[in-house]
C-alpha cells in the first residue's frame, strides 16, 4: 500500500467535512488512532500515527492546517489554503479526465519536446553518417 501524503490527508479532511455538512470554522479533528484508521481506510494507505504526525507538522508549517488550541495535534482545523489545495487538485483531475486521447498525446509531446528534438537530431546525424559512409 502507498504511504500517506499531505494531498491525501487534505482530501480526506475535506471529504469528511463535506460528508458531515460542516464548514471550515466548525470542523475540527485530533490525531488519534481512530483518525489514523479512518484516514488509512479512506485513502487506501497503511501509515502509522508517527507518519501522520510528520505529515500534519508539514501541513501546519505550510498553513494548510492549524492548531486551534495550545496543545499540539489535539484540536486541529483545515484552513482555507488547505481547502484550496484540494479544490485545485480535484479540478486538475477533472480536466485531465475529460481530455481526449489526441489531447493527451499532444500534451505528452509538448511536455517532452526537448526529447523529440534530441531524437530528431540523432536520427539526422545517423542518416548523414550513413549517407557519407555509403558513398565511399
Eight-state DSSP code of residue 4: P
pLDDT for the residue numbered 118: 87
What is the pTM assigned to this prediction?
0.75
CATH 3.40.50.1950: does it fit domain 6-95? no
Q: Which residue has the higher pLDDT, 96 or 55?
A: 55
Q: Which residue has the higher pLDDT, 134 or 71?
A: 71
CA distances from 131 to 52, 122, 124, 135 (A): 62, 14, 10, 6
Q: Could you tell me where the DSSP H helices lie in the chain? A: 6-20, 33-43, 49-61, 80-98, 101-111, 113-134
**Average pLDDT rounded to a whole number, residues 109-114:** 84
pLDDT for the residue numbered 136: 62
Has residue 35 got a pLDDT over 70? yes
* 105: its cell numbers: 498525446
Q: How confident is the model at residue 115 (pLDDT cuts 50, 70, 90)?
A: confident
pLDDT for the residue numbered 80: 97
Q: Tell me the C-alpha distance between 136 and 131, whole Å.
A: 9
Has residue 108 got a pLDDT over 70? yes
Amino acid at each position: 500500500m502507498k504511504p500517506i501524503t499531505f494531498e491525501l490527508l487534505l482530501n480526506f479532511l475535506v471529504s469528511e467535512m463535506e460528508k458531515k455538512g460542516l464548514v471550515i470554522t466548525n470542523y475540527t479533528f485530533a490525531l488519534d488512532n481512530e483518525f489514523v484508521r479512518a484516514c488509512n481506510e479512506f485513502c487506501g494507505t497503511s501509515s502509522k500515527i508517527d507518519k501522520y504526525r510528520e505529515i500534519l507538522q508539514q501541513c501546519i508549517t505550510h498553513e494548510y492546517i492549524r492548531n486551534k488550541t495550545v496543545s499540539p495535534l489535539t484540536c486541529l482545523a483545515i484552513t482555507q489554503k488547505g481547502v484550496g489545495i484540494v479544490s485545485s487538485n480535484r479540478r486538475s483531475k477533472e480536466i485531465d479526465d475529460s481530455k481526449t486521447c489526441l489531447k493527451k498525446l499532444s500534451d505528452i509531446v509538448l511536455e517532452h519536446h526537448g526529447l523529440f528534438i534530441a531524437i530528431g537530431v540523432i536520427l539526422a546525424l545517423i542518416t548523414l553518417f550513413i549517407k557519407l559512409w555509403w558513398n565511399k
